[in-house]
Amino acid sequence: MSTDGVVSAEPRLTRKGRATRERIVTTAAGLMFDHGVAGTSIEDVQAAAGVSSSQIYHYFRDKRALVRAVIACQTDAVLGAQQPLLDRLDSVEALRKWRDLLVGLQRERHYEGGCPLGSLAGELAETDPAARAALAAGFGTWESAIRAGIQAMRDRGELPADADPERMARALLAALQGGLLLTQVRRDTAGLEAALDTVIDHIAGVGAGTSQHVG
Amino acid sequence: MSTDGVVSAEPRLTRKGRATRERIVTTAAGLMFDHGVAGTSIEDVQAAAGVSSSQIYHYFRDKRALVRAVIACQTDAVLGAQQPLLDRLDSVEALRKWRDLLVGLQRERHYEGGCPLGSLAGELAETDPAARAALAAGFGTWESAIRAGIQAMRDRGELPADADPERMARALLAALQGGLLLTQVRRDTAGLEAALDTVIDHIAGVGAGTSQHVG
């Protein structure tokens, strides 16, 4: 679940420095989630976090550096919100519980906001190559966690040897991202449910085929 | 394929007026696709379309009105690019050809840009309720076209009577949207292919169940 690959190297900070930096990043993440990256200025972050301009620039060279810290922060937040399920998606039952968690989170949020990483991706992918790379790394970490569970199912013989955990994990992540986008646009979770259920049913079906072979 | 529901009422225009309006909208659509809505000013559109400020404001009261016209324009463009396949997705073979078309389009575009409607949705859903509604209508038209094909398969008995074309169409649209987002972030179509193939395989599997029942 570490996002070390995403975070750029930071200078050593005192405890107080780390707290200030974290306050700046979480404030920026919230503003960018609500108003978009383009709709959030360094001055907005300053005012909302209650820090001075020189403090922000002490920690972040420019807005792009702040955006990369926001991506790392949101990667941790998104993956953290799916714990502990995300680290053990190694049964169809676990996949369905995870699906229920994701759908439930959207309902709690009144279907607003979509995926914090997906939203950043849509806004930054074509204009900020470093941000795109950081987002790709974040999605990679997410997909790896999903794949590890499916891989464990295959290793235990609950999926056939020729099942492709990587492909299944990719399909799940895409279904999830598209489902979250449709949730945000339509203010309901029907598309999210349909997409996740279809991919999970597919995995369950591949697994059921195995049982038939074995049985 | 009409997007009448999306376009707001327009004053009657002369042929020349329609051409000018269309040039403004397609220019704005291109700029907003490349730089985002927030990154595109009315002045940018003016300069790129070679029109005066008063001309733009003759056709569009404000930027939000222009954005709604861009959504209608992109809905037509996105759906048009999938024709004639989109209007006859009434067999597994047709679904696979459509999948190949979508994957091929992304390769031609060097995996850049994602879905024009999806990108607008990510940027506007929380900040512009009228835009969100227009995007929801655009996605609705898209999903209806997909559903009509699946419905035809069911009507011909190629899917069982209890198959749910609406749910299948929703899953396909979500898989497509998430796949396009991952394509944009990762610069490859692996996620798009995995997601679409999984949902189409699911539909084919439901259909194969029917053949077994019938046969």
**DSSP strands (E only) in B12-134:** none
Across the interface, which of A132, A135, A182 has its CB nearest the CB of B174? A182
Which element (helix H / strand E) includes A173? helix A165-186
pLDDT band at B211 (very low <50, low <70, confident <90, very high): low
Average pLDDT, chain A: 92
Under an 8 A CB cutoff, do B135 and A171 touch?
no
Across the interface, which of A126, A192, A197 has its CB nearest the CB of B113? A126
pLDDT single digits (tens) A45-59:
999 999 999 999 999
Contacts of A186 (CB under 8 A, 6+ apart): A111, B136, B139
Give the amino acid at B12.
R
Contacts of B182 (CB under 8 A, 6+ apart): A139, A170, A173, A174, A177, B190, B191, B192
What is the distance between the alpha carbons of residues B64 and B75, in angstroms, rounded to a whole number? 16
pLDDT single digits (tens) A10-36:
568 899 999 999 999 999 999 999 888
Chain A CA closest to residue B143: A191
Under an 8 A CB cutoff, do A121 and B184 touch?
yes
pLDDT single digits (tens) A143-165:
999 999 999 999 999 999 999 99
Under an 8 A CB cutoff, do A198 and B35 touch?
no
What is the distance between the alpha carbons of residues A124 and A130, in angstroms, rounded to a whole number? 9
Query: Fold for domain A71-214?
Result: Tetracycline Repressor; domain 2 (1.10.357)
Under an 8 A CB cutoff, do B186 and A139 touch?
yes
**Residue B36 above 70 pLDDT?**
yes
Under an 8 A CB cutoff, do B126 and A112 touch?
yes
Which element (helix H / strand E) includes A74? helix A63-81
Give the ipTM: 0.91
Give residue limits of the domains in chain B: 15-70, 72-214
Under an 8 A CB cutoff, do B174 and A171 touch?
no
| Structural tokens at position A159 | 């999926």
pLDDT band at A4 (very low <50, low <70, confident <90, very high): very low
Across the interface, which of A186, A190, A205 has its CB nearest the CB of B136? A186
Picking from A150, A198, A199 by the largest number of B CB atoms within 10 A of its own CB, the best residue to mutate is: A198
CB-CB neighbors (< 8 A) of A127 in chain B = 35-36, 39
What pLDDT sits at residue B13? 85
Across the interface, which of B126, B167, B174 has its CB nearest the CB of A175? B174
pLDDT band at B11 (very low <50, low <70, confident <90, very high): low
pLDDT single digits (tens) B56-93:
999 999 999 999 999 999 999 999 999 999 999 999 99
Under an 8 A CB cutoff, do B181 and A118 touch?
yes
CATH number assigned to the domain covering A15-70: 1.10.10.60
Q: How many residues are recorded in chain A?
A: 215
CB-CB neighbors (< 8 A) of B171 in chain A = 175, 191, 194-195, 197-198
Q: How many CB pairs under 8 A join A and B?
A: 162
What is the distance between the alpha carbons of residues B185 and A136, in angstroms, rounded to a whole number? 6
CATH number assigned to the domain covering B72-214: 1.10.357.10
**A57 min Cα distance to partner chain B (Å):** 24
pLDDT band at B117 (very low <50, low <70, confident <90, very high): very high
CB-CB neighbors (< 8 A) of A186 in chain B = 136, 139
pLDDT single digits (tens) A109-146:
999 999 999 999 988 998 899 999 999 999 999 999 99
